[in-house]
Amino acid sequence: MKEQLRTTLADDVVQGYLELSDTIRVTALPSWINADLNVSQVKTIILLEHHGALTVSELARLLGIGNPAASILVQQLVEQGLVERSEDSKDRRRTFVRLTARGSGLMTGRRELVRTNLLRWLSQLSEDELASLQRGLGALLRVFQADPAQQRQTAASKLDQKHS
């Protein structure tokens, strides 16, 4: 019986997380719509924010597209002033792509909107509910950080950043 309760609780937590994450995405949607970006451009900006800088080839690999398509995508974002290119000082054949101040500002604005909404929602919880949520999120983060698959992903991301 305990295992069934545990499974039900875990399912409820996953469902709650999915509903919250959908709500957060929908409340941030106007900032993406106003930016007038297509889905591939948004993915590129998110990847560049996460990695700091990527070569066009690395970006193509992460997006699952060819190098020519990635080059076109980068050019579109350069024209909008959201990303910039720079040559690798060690290998001029390699071109790095990184967010401009405007591109970073787009992500910062979106993150600030999410933060503002979360703080507004959290202000409606009792101290006990906030403390429980803090403990639960802390526990989930510990498990996530100890997960070998996550450690491999983090190591790969750090390796990518090292080459930037």
Q: In this model, does residue 152 exceed pLDDT 70?
A: no
pTM for the predicted model, two decimal places: 0.70
Please give the domain boundaries of the chain with CATH numbers for all domains.
2-124 (1.10.10.10)
pLDDT tens string 45-93: 999 999 999 999 999 999 999 999 999 999 999 999 999 999 878 877 7
Q: In this model, does residue 164 exceed pLDDT 50?
A: no
Q: In this model, does residue 9 exceed pLDDT 80?
A: yes
- Cβ proximity of 56 and 74 under 8 Å: yes
- Evaluate the CA torsion angle 57, 62, 68, 70 in order and state its sign: negative
- Cβ proximity of 144 and 150 under 8 Å: yes
Query: Which pLDDT does position 79 carry in this prediction?
Result: 95
